Amino acid sequence: MPRAEYSHHRPCVRLVEGLLTRGIMVIDDLSYHNVVPRDDLPEIPTVRQVAEDLARAGRLSSDQQARVVTVHSLSKTDCLAGARIAVVEIREPALRDRFQSLMISILPNTGALLLGYLFYRNSREVLRAYWRLRNAIFAERMEAITTAFHNLPADRNPFAIEVVPPEGSMYPLLHIHNLPSGLSLDWVASGLARQGIGMIPLSAFARTETGFETGRKAFRLTLGGTDGAPVLLGKTRRVLIDLNRLIAEESAYYSRNTFPVIRQTAPSDDIVTHWTSLEARLRTVLPQAFRSASTADHNVMPKTGAERAFMQTFIPERMQVYRQRYFDRETITRNW
């Protein structure tokens, strides 16, 4: 592909060149190559096309561009749902041999292979016309979904549900901006399923903390299926209305109570005075009590060392513990 055709993809070009020159293998997943809900067929260069152009320009060697692995999923780009058929290009011999040894254990889908073979026997013009029709059908369905969203009055959409069109696939997002705190979309999805509406929370596809935070307020929709735009318009309106109602019903089971935070942690002056007086009396009577116990038990350490350790180490440590406990209890009782 000439460079002028993908000049607006320069960040991709720099990324591919940087990875391949560092010996990093790049796997290009083309599950939704040129799939987008619009009336034309966009020309988005693949990593293989970028690498070959860089090699022609002398910026990549043949060994470096061989580290690109291309996986093209016919099941999705050619609307063969369930076929599970793909074309994989692996130029490194060792990696290709390992891949083929694993493929031996997989039984091929003969029917899907036959359909794919018959489809790609057509001319390039016929293939591109089919792909343009696919995108046009997705665009028509996406417009129906968007129309249902815009036609819904604000009072019927209290949770600010928004439909976000896809930029490079066939899966719009149903984003709930005002999702109540503590409400799980899994419960909402179960309620919809009981009414015959199947929707998948986007969090099911999350693998990171950021991804889960993004997906916990959204459902993933699809532009596939057999329903045309008029049918999809009515179904989308029903989904939006039922979804708002179910969220309202589920949120009614949750009550969020906010308790005042009291940060009066310092003990009162009376308590400090009382404890100081008590501690002074203990320090007065404890030495005499220790001497009496030492006189009764002749197996203890020498009196001078034992008394010093008792008064200077043991008593201060224990006093500190009981002082803090006393102050904590008084604070809890005062703030109750």
Assess whether 315 and 294 both reside in one domain: yes
Residues 247 and 279 occupy one common structural domain:
no
Whether residues 100 and 146 fall in one domain: no
88 vs 66: CA distance, rounded Å: 13
- Residues with Cβ within 8 Å of 62's Cβ and at least 6 positions away in sequence, in order, are 55
The answer to whether position 256 is within a domain reads: no
For residues 167 and 36, the answer to whether their CB atoms sit within 8 Å is: yes
Note whether 117 and 147 are same-domain residues.
Answer: no
* Residue at which a domain ends, from 100, 121, 142: 121
- Give the tokens for residue 171: 């899966």
Which residue segment(s) compose the domain that 7 sits in?
A: 3-121
Total domain count for the chain? 3
Residue 303: inside a domain = yes
pLDDT value of residue 302: 53
Tokens of 38: 């619009």
**Last-in-domain residue among 97, 121, 145:** 121
Specify the pLDDT at position 334.
74
What is the DSSP track for 236-284? HHHHHHHHHHHHHHHHTT------------SPPHHHHHHHHHHHHHHHH
Residue 30's nearest CA partner among 93, 75, 94 is 75
In the beta sheet, which residues pair with residue 334?
Answer: none
Q: Which residues pair with 141 in a beta bridge?
A: none
Residue 51 shares a structural domain with residue 109: yes
Q: Is 207 in the same domain as 232?
A: yes
| Separation CA 146–CA 151 (nearest Å) | 9
Q: What is the pLDDT of residue 154?
A: 86
Q: Determine the Cα angle at 238 with ends 235 and 242, to 5°.
A: 140
> Do both 141 and 223 map to the same domain?
yes
Q: Identify whether 263 is part of a domain.
A: no
Q: Which residues contact 45 (CB under 8 A, 6 or more apart)?
A: 1, 5, 6, 9, 12
Is residue 186 in some structural domain? yes
Q: Is 257 among the domain residues?
A: no
The end-to-end CA distance of the chain, in Å, is 76
Question: Is residue 164 included in any domain, yes or no?
Answer: yes
- Asked, for residue 262, whether it belongs to a domain, the answer is no
pLDDT tens per residue, the chain (336 residues)?
334 344 445 668 889 999 999 999 999 998 888 999 999 888 888 999 999 999 999 999 989 999 999 999 888 888 887 888 889 999 999 999 999 999 888 888 888 899 899 999 999 999 999 999 999 999 999 999 999 988 888 888 898 888 989 888 888 988 998 888 777 788 788 877 877 777 888 888 888 888 888 788 888 888 888 888 888 888 888 888 888 888 888 777 766 566 666 565 677 788 888 888 888 888 888 877 777 766 655 555 455 677 778 788 888 888 888 888 888 888 777 766
Residues facing 86 on adjacent strands: 73
Give the pLDDT of residue 254: 67
Residue 127 lies in a domain: no
Task: Name the amino acid, one letter, at 194.
Answer: R
pLDDT of residue 258: 63
What CATH number is associated with residue 179?
Answer: 3.90.1150.10
Q: Which of 194, 224, 251 corresponds to the end of one domain?
A: 251
